[in-house]
Structure 1
Amino acid sequence: MGTRGIPNYHGGFEQFAEYFSVYLANQGHDVYVYNSSMHPYQEKTFKGVHIIHCKDPENRIGTAGQFIYDVNSILDSRKRNFDILLQLGYTSSSVWYKLLPKKSMVITNMDGLEWKRSKYSKKIQSFLKVAESLAVKSSDHLISDSVGIQNYLNTKYNVQSKYIAYGADLFHNPNEKVLNDFEVKPYKYNMLVARFEPENNLETILDGVVLSNKKETFLVVGKHDSNAFGAYLKKKYQHHDFIKFVGGIYDIDILNNLRYYSNLYFHGHSVGGTNPSLLEAMSSNALIVGHKNEFNSSILGDFAFYFESDIDVKGIIESIEKKDYLEKVNGCRNEIVEKYNWNTINKQYLEFFKDCLK
């Protein structure tokens, strides 16, 4: 519960919901995923997973629709006999906590520090702090997707949470032809993949790209036509032809090929836990330049470069070639094999479920 649904057409939680639910079904469990009525997939099952379609009016009334979709999902769950209700996030669901079914065990993945996101007004940030506390209060067990979130919950609320990261699959089949559609050559371009939110540091990265004396193509992957910040960035950099806004790409094979053949892959996320796109970049031979913060460094360690300012970005672009730092690239891949592969993550979730039920 709490995602827009499966198969994934949106983001990290949806990707996880798809992989984990299919894994559970393959293990013989009876598993259901709540899908928004706006989701393009309208079948009742997906690879053995039951789909419950719930009314979601977000397309008509905006963000408030998410609250209605969540309460519709919760009301539906009261009619069923679920052993476990896994909530992915809490932003628009925790206000309905009193409606959660008493007979189901509620496990919540607490996502990132939503109230820190700069896109929100002070009033909304205050609400999100309350929503966070309600999620903690109303859950039987908590999951943190990063050590940073785990430490925060323990310090702030004096509660324990289970640390389980996201997963990724190693990318094995590069296909150079994918680059033709983007008019780039292998290792002669840099890129980023992100939602268009200020705390993802897109502007800092792109300011550094503009400052750099090395004017190679820079691909900006993400839905830039869905919010004001995206429109602002497109307008700001419209006269820099080497910066290409290519829109959202949800075909994992295309994304992995772009990462694989990139020279530098920038990851600017600064709020939240283990970001799925970061793990995907690690698994696909990217040389990563991450924003310097606890969440990124706890995952990347010494296998990446870090930036804090546009000047840092400028210097890295001008001085770093991927071919000279393959030990960092290989280090990231090894981390995926040893810690963050999907099979391991799925097993950790299932074992945690079993422990909770005991």
Structure 2
Amino acid sequence: MAVIGTRGYPSFYGGFETAVRKLAPYLADQSWNVTVYGRSADLEQHSDKDPRVQVITTAGVENKSLSTLSYGLTACLHAFWTKPDVALVMNVANGFWLPLLRLRRIPTIVNVDGIEWERAKWGRLAKTIFKIGAFMTARFGTVLIADSKEIGRRWRDEFGRDCVFVPYGGEAGSDHSLEDGLSPERYVLVVARFVPENTLPEFISAARNLARDYQVVIVGSSGYGGHLEDDVRLLAEENENVRWLGHVSDDQRLLALWRHCGAYFHGHSVGGTNPALVQAMANGAPVVARDTVYNREVLGNDAAFCLPEGDEIERAVRRVMDTPSERKRLSNISLERVQQGYTWEAVCAAYERELRSQAEEKSLSEVTK
């Protein structure tokens, strides 16, 4: 089987890459021959790389607008030639190339991700491309996977396609030491890509006041520079209580930050089930989340939510930081919710069931031709 549409294996860039790092070795354990397509510039040498996973790098255009489309095309062309039993395709932008795989009778399992055409970070052309890619995915994808039930509802209403619900998983970290200078339960944490829909501008506003009384740790970057990185850099330079760590690729280091924080603010608004949120929950982080249907689906209605406004974020975070019983309550909610289907074992098993079902159906159809 082949995985198309991520930055490769092992890669630590985002949610798709995290899923592949968990899924590829799991599938190898289930006797699959696993090939992951990737981009050579984004693959990281790492000690936990499974030698059973074949990595194929293809060519593409390295820029914000064309990278997904171009790398997806070259990966699909290679898969067209090699003809794997089944392909797991990430991202609806690759919907443009699904007819190639169908032409070769390669069944496709497509993770549709979030509602990309509603993300503020994309311009009009990119939003149009994603929307057309979604129509193509609905038309040519064999099985669609949505990481949230709400995303599945949107696809049923807008495209007339049902999706299989498979979320992201979380894992508890080891006893990795905390960053030097940080005090357990006395720092506020945010982990996010620097885009407006992740509520970064509003959190920066809240952080200016929160930093008077607590340490504030910011993890993430835009990947392309820009004004949000400039704003966070200036905030950290002006206030010794603010620490910007940039992109953190060390899993255990990041899990330790979630495990020991006093409050984790999760501002993602349009992406369905967010991998960072599930990882935070698996490590018992007391979560304060932007009030969205997606975050309520994952956390449940008893969690702490706030509006995407600086003063509202500050108020909600202070309530958690100043109330030990509330921190404990929210931590327990996180740990309990993860066990309700948001573990990597459950997630990988669900993917494997769909892949095996399609591979067996293809094999049967070839025998009976």
TM above 0.5, yes or no, is yes
Query: What SS class does the counterpart of residue 23 from structure 1 fall into?
Result: helix
Q: Pick closer, same or farther for the CA change 1:272–1:64 going to 2, 3 Å.
A: same
Amino acid in structure 1 at the alignment position of 2:214: E
Aligned to 1:202: 200
Q: Does 1:226 align with 2:229?
A: no
**d(CA) in 1 for partners of 2:43, 2:7:** 10
For residues 217-296 of structure 1, the aligned pairs below 5 Å read 217-224=215-222, 226-234=224-232, 237=235, 238-296=237-295
**d(CA) in 2 for partners of 1:201, 1:147:** 22
Residue 3 of structure 1, aligned match among 3, 6, 15: 6
User: Which piece of structure 1 moves more, 334-343 or 10-19?
Assistant: 334-343
Cα offsets for 1:166-186 (capped at 9, x unmatched): 111233x334x3321xx2111
Q: Pick closer, same or farther for the CA change 1:9–1:319 going to 2, 3 Å.
A: closer
Query: What SS class does the counterpart of residue 230 from structure 1 fall into?
Result: helix
Shift of 1:17: 1.0
Aligned to 1:37: 40
User: Which piece of structure 1 moves more, 188-197 or 213-222?
Assistant: 213-222
Amino acid in structure 2 at the alignment position of 1:99: L
Aligned to 1:178: 178
Aligned to 2:29: 26
Coordinate RMSD, CA, aligned: 2.1
Q: What is the TM-score normalised by the length of structure 1? A: 0.91
**d(CA) in 2 for partners of 1:184, 1:116:** 37
In structure 1, runs of 5+ residues without a counterpart are none
Cα offsets for 1:28-87 (capped at 9, x unmatched): 1111111112233489x83311111212341xx553243221111011001123121110
Query: What percentage of aligned pairs have identical amino acids?
Result: 24
Cα offsets for 1:239-270 (capped at 9, x unmatched): 33322221111111111111111100011000
Q: Pick closer, same or farther for the CA change 1:267–1:55 going to 2, 3 Å.
A: same
In structure 2, runs of 5+ residues without a counterpart are 362-369
Residue 166 of structure 2, aligned match among 164, 169, 175: 164
**d(CA) in 2 for partners of 1:39, 1:231:** 21
Contact 2:289 / 2:295 at 8 angstroms: preserved in 1? yes
Amino acid in structure 2 at the alignment position of 1:178: L
For residues 322-333 of structure 1, the aligned pairs below 5 Å read 323-325=324-326, 326-333=328-335
Residue 148 of structure 1, aligned match among 141, 150, 170: 150
Cα offsets for 1:263-317 (capped at 9, x unmatched): 0001100011111110100011200011100111100014531111222112123
Shift of 1:20: 0.7
Cα offsets for 1:127-170 (capped at 9, x unmatched): 22112111111101100000110000011111111011011123
Shift of 1:228: 1.0
Contact 1:307 / 1:313 at 8 angstroms: preserved in 2? yes
Contact 2:221 / 2:229 at 8 angstroms: preserved in 1? no
Aligned to 1:12: 15
Query: What SS class does the counterpart of residue 318 from structure 2 fall into?
Result: helix
Query: What SS class does the counterpart of residue 345 from structure 2 fall into?
Result: helix
Contact 1:2 / 1:90 at 8 angstroms: preserved in 2? no
**d(CA) in 1 for partners of 2:336, 2:9:** 29
Amino acid in structure 1 at the alignment position of 2:333: G
**d(CA) in 2 for partners of 1:185, 1:42:** 32
User: Which piece of structure 1 moves more, 216-225 or 110-119?
Assistant: 216-225
Q: Pick closer, same or farther for the CA change 1:243–1:337 going to 2, 3 Å.
A: same
Q: Pick closer, same or farther for the CA change 1:136–1:178 going to 2, 3 Å.
A: same
User: Which piece of structure 1 moves more, 119-128 or 246-255?
Assistant: 119-128
Count of residues in correspondence between the two structures = 350
Q: Pick closer, same or farther for the CA change 1:23–1:303 going to 2, 3 Å.
A: farther
Query: What SS class does the counterpart of residue 259 from structure 1 fall into?
Result: helix
User: Which piece of structure 1 moves more, 289-298 or 30-39?
Assistant: 30-39
Contact 1:282 / 1:336 at 8 angstroms: preserved in 2? yes
**d(CA) in 1 for partners of 2:254, 2:124:** 35
**d(CA) in 1 for partners of 2:329, 2:227:** 36
Aligned to 1:343: 345
Shift of 1:121: 1.7
Aligned to 2:81: 79
